[in-house]
């Protein structure tokens, strides 16, 4: 299999789906002539024309609403946000229209659309551009939420999202766009609601998604040097959530640490921890531990930014805690 970058994998998914289905189109700020703020849409305007690669004004609420209307009449829009921080401007369209239209129309209107773009911290982009909103969108019935951590998952999950008849919030990590990995050519679909074990282990389950999978895998390598065998599980889609695979892993290891770059209060890790303790109480040898970003707006200074986000040392410390080694 070819080794390509995360952004190239997303580009391949968009190109293949636009070639396969003429109802698929891309719309957002700078997706066309500039070829995407992060070059995910590179080459698509030349191949598909302005009819299907649509540059928009800086008006997220407006072009998200155009996307909802297009989905209602049979098209499959992919709406790109330059940053998911800007999706807050369009949140009325996402939550009050895209998520609810199928039920409120008594099934007359499917909304087959994807809201995609970078989410979470980057490098020194400040408090207003460093936020992770997956727990916001996971809260809403009618939406599906996806956070790929590898190039192969990015391609396979985006193709699945574009083909889904429901609105999908597809959250990429800006910190992963340059990461590389093996990606199958041609038809490659990754199903929603199916977690993947990124590293097998026996002593503790580490659950993470998006950029945090890389950090957790690095921590698992460090733990291995300490004689601790950690299993790393990536849910890939957060709604639907493959709790069964998590339960199976935690029943095997008896311990669990959940790592997310979002904040602690009302974070997705809290929901996962609740479901795990409900299903695995008799198997747990320690309470489920969580590692999150600090409960502050993100500082701009690089050293403080690193201090706020989960680091390898934080994960190692949490694992030692659940193993009663601290």
pTM of the model: 0.96
Res 283: pLDDT: 97
| Rounded average pLDDT over 253-271 | 97
**Mean pLDDT over the full length of the chain:** 97
Q: What is the pLDDT of residue 151?
A: 98
Nearest 10 degrees: Cα torsion 3, 39, 95, 260: 50
Percent residues over pLDDT 90 in the chain: 99
Helices (H), 74-150: 91, 101-104, 134-138
Is the pLDDT at 314 greater than 90? The verdict is yes
Q: Which two tokens stand for residue 70?
A: 């297009």
Question: In this model, does residue 326 exceed pLDDT 90?
Answer: no
Instruction: Return the residue matching tokens 């707006």.
Output: 297
Residue range 43-59: mean pLDDT, rounded: 97
Confidence category of residue 114, pLDDT binned at 50, 70, 90: very high
| Residues 15-25, mean pLDDT to the nearest whole number | 98
Active-site residue 224, yes or no?
Answer: no
3-class SS at 5? strand
Alpha-carbon distance of 254 to 279, in angstroms, equals 12
Cβ proximity of 265 and 177 under 8 Å = no
Beta strands in the chain, from DSSP E residues, in sequence order:
3-5, 24-28, 53-55, 76-80, 114-119, 144-146, 168-173, 180-182, 196-199, 204-208, 230-234, 237-239, 256-259, 289-291
The residue assigned the tokens 């998604």 is 209
pLDDT of the residue at 281: 96
Distances (CA, A) of 24 to 2, 181, 255: 26, 26, 44
Query: Is the model's pLDDT at 212 over the cut of 90?
Result: yes
Catalytic: which of 8, 129, 203, 260?
Answer: 129
Q: What is the mean pLDDT of residues 179-185?
A: 96
- Please give the pLDDT value at position 1: 85
Domains and CATH numbers, the chain: 3-182 (3.40.50.970), 196-322 (3.40.50.920)
- 129 is annotated as an active-site residue: yes
pLDDT of residue 284: 97
């Amino acid at each position: 299999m070819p080794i390509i970058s995360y952004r190239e994998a997303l580009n391949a998914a968009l190109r293949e789906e636009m070639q396969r289905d003429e109802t698929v189109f891309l719309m957002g700020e700078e997706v066309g002539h500039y070829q995407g703020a992060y070059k995910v849409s590179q080459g698509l305007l030349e191949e598909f024309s302005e009819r299907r690669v649509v540059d928009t004004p800086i008006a997220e609420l407006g072009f998200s609403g155009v996307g909802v209307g297009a989905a209602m009449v049979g098209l499959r829009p992919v709406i790109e946000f330059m940053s998911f921080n800007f999706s807050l401007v369009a949140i009325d369209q996402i939550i009050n229209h895209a998520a609810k239209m199928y039920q409120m129309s008594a099934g007359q209107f499917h909304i087959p659309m994807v809201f995609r773009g970078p989410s979470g911290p980057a490098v020194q982009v400040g408090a207003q551009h460093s936020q992770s909103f997956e727990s916001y969108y996971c809260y809403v019935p009618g939406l599906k939420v996806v956070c790929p951590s590898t190039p192969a998952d990015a391609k396979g999950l985006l193709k699945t999202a574009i083909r889904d008849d429901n609105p999908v919030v597809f959250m990429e990590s800006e910190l992963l766009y340059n990461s590389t990995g093996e990606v199958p050519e041609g038809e490659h679909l990754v199903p929603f609601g199916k977690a993947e074990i990124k590293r097998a282990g026996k002593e503790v389950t580490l659950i993470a998604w998006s950029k945090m999978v890389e950090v957790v895998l690095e921590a698992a390598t460090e733990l291995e040097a300490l004689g601790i065998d950690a299993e790393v599980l990536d849910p890939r889609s957060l709604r639907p959530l493959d709790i069964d695979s998590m339960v199976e892993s935690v029943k095997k290891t008896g311990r669990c640490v959940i790592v997310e770059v979002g904040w602690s209060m009302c974070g997705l890790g809290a929901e996962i921890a609740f479901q795990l303790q409900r299903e695995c109480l008799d198997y747990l040898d320690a309470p489920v531990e969580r590692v999150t970003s600090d409960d502050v707006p993100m500082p701009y200074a690089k050293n403080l930014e690193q201090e706020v986000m989960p680091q390898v040392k934080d994960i190692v410390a949490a694992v030692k805690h659940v193993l009663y080694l601290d």
